[in-house]
Amino acid sequence: MLAHDLRNPLTVAKGRLELAREDPDTHHLEVATEALERIEALVEDYRRLAVAGSIVVDPEPVDLAALVRESWAHVPTREATLEVATERVVEADPDRVRQLLENLLRNAVEHGGSDVTVTVGDAEDGFFVADDGPGIPSAERGSVLDAGHSSVEANTGIGLSIASTVAEAHGWELSVTDAEGARFEITGVSLVS
């Protein structure tokens, strides 16, 4: 999959560099630079995907609310609002759960609109990340967690796949549920009593 995803921007970069050699007064170098930046983003996303998939062997108690707020600080939020409706402590790898949360929060902001409200709260045996944006069409709910799926052209389509892989590495399940807006539930979570 990585080879396939890299081939297109690499071909664009090579072609534009050849054109820039012939006509240096054009914007070919800008397009080549954008293609190379795309390759860099793909490589980083696939690296994260590989790390996310290794099984968690040494979980520790993690304050979910604190980790949500910390993750929110690392997401470009525009005018979005965060509501934290959990006080749970979960057994997890904090670095990987941070990655899961950042990907879900970023997805909510990117797809929910600039003034979206994102809520993280308790599910029956886990937690959820939901937004009040337009939601996910029912026809796409089965594929949004697949690597490479994105409705935004500039995205690599790896973010939700990484989140799903992090959940699996913990023995959890990440699912898209039917709700107004988008709602992702993470279940099978070991809760600290």
Instruction: Please give the model's pTM, rounded to 2 decimal places.
Output: 0.72
Distance CA 5, CA 25 (A): 29
Nearest to 85 by CA among 53, 24, 129: 129
Distance CA 8, CA 81 (A): 36
Summarize pLDDT for 118-147 with one digit per residue, the tens.
Answer: 999 999 999 999 999 987 777 676 657 665
Residues 6+ apart with CB under 8 A from 163: 99, 100, 103, 104, 107, 145, 174, 184
Nearest to 165 by CA among 59, 63, 21, 54: 54
Q: What does the pLDDT read at residue 150?
A: 47
Judge whether 169 and 161 are in contact, CB under 8 Å.
no
Measured in degrees and rounded to the nearest 5, phi and psi for residue 101 equal: -65, -45
Summarize pLDDT for 59-87 with one digit per residue, the tens.
Answer: 999 999 999 999 999 888 889 999 999 99
Domains of the chain as residue ranges with CATH: 2-52 (1.10.287.130), 60-187 (3.30.565.10)
